[in-house]
Amino acid sequence: MSAIANSIFSPELAARFDKLVTIYPAKRSALVPMLLYAQDEVGYVSEAVIQEIAQRLDLFDLEVRSVLSYYSMLRTKPAGKYNIQVCTNISCMLRGGYEILDHCKKKLGIGHKQVTPDGQFSLEEVECIGACCWAPAMQVNYDFHDELTAAKVDEILADYSAGKTPGDTNKVSE
Partner 1 sequence: MPRLVSHPDEVKVLSRRFGLGATNIDKYLELDGYAGVQKAIAKGPDEMSGWIIAEMKASGLRGRGGAGFPTGMKWSFVPKASPKPKYVLVNGDESEPGTCKDHILFREDPHAVIEGTMIAGLAVGAKMGFIYLRGEYRYLLNIVEKAVADAYAKGFLGKNIFGVEGVDFDIVTQTGAGAYEVGEESALMESLEGKRGIPRIRPPFPAVVGLYGGPTIINNAETIANAPHILLMGGENYCNLGSPRNGGTRLFGISGHVERPGVYELPMGYPLRKAIYDVAGGIKGGKQLKAVVPGGASCPVLRADEIDVGLDFDQMAKAGTMLGSGGIVVLDETVSIVEFALRTIKFYQHESCGWCIPCREGTDWIKKTLTRVYEGGGQKKDIDNVQYLAENMMGRTFCPLGDAAAMPTLGFVKKFRKEFEDYIEGKKAGTPIMTTEHDLVGAGH
**169 burial class (0-12, 13-18, 19+ CB within 10 angstroms)?**
middle
Answer yes or no: are the C-beta atoms of 24 and 17 closer than 8 Å: no
- Rounded to the nearest 5 degrees, what angle is found at the Cα of 40, between the Cα atoms of 64 and 155? 140
Using CB under 8 A, which of 4, 8, 14, 32 touches partner 1?
32
Answer yes or no: are the C-beta atoms of 121 and 82 closer than 8 Å: yes
Q: Look up residue 96 and give its amino acid.
A: G
Number of H helices, E strands in the chain: 7, 5
Omega before 136 within 30 of 0, i.e. cis: yes
- The residue among 49 and 101 lying less far from partner 1, judged by its C-beta, is 101
- The residue among 26 and 162 lying less far from partner 1, judged by its C-beta, is 26
Q: Look up residue 78 and give its amino acid.
A: P
106-145: contacts with partner 1 (CB under 8 A): 111-112, 125, 127-135, 139, 142-144
Residue 146 interacts with partner 1 (CB under 8 A)?
yes
Using CB under 8 A, which of 10, 11, 19, 33 touches partner 1?
33
Q: What is the spatial distance between Cα 88 and Cα 84, in angstroms, rounded to a whole number?
A: 13
Residue 24 interacts with partner 1 (CB under 8 A)?
yes
Using CB under 8 A, which of 44, 47, 51, 69 touches partner 1?
69
Shortest Cβ distance from residue 23 to partner 1 (Å)?
A: 6
Residue 13 interacts with partner 1 (CB under 8 A)?
no
Interface residues toward partner 1, by CB under 8 A? 23-26, 28-33, 35-36, 57, 66-67, 69-74, 88-91, 93-95, 98, 101-102, 111-112, 125, 127-135, 139, 142-144, 146-147, 168-174
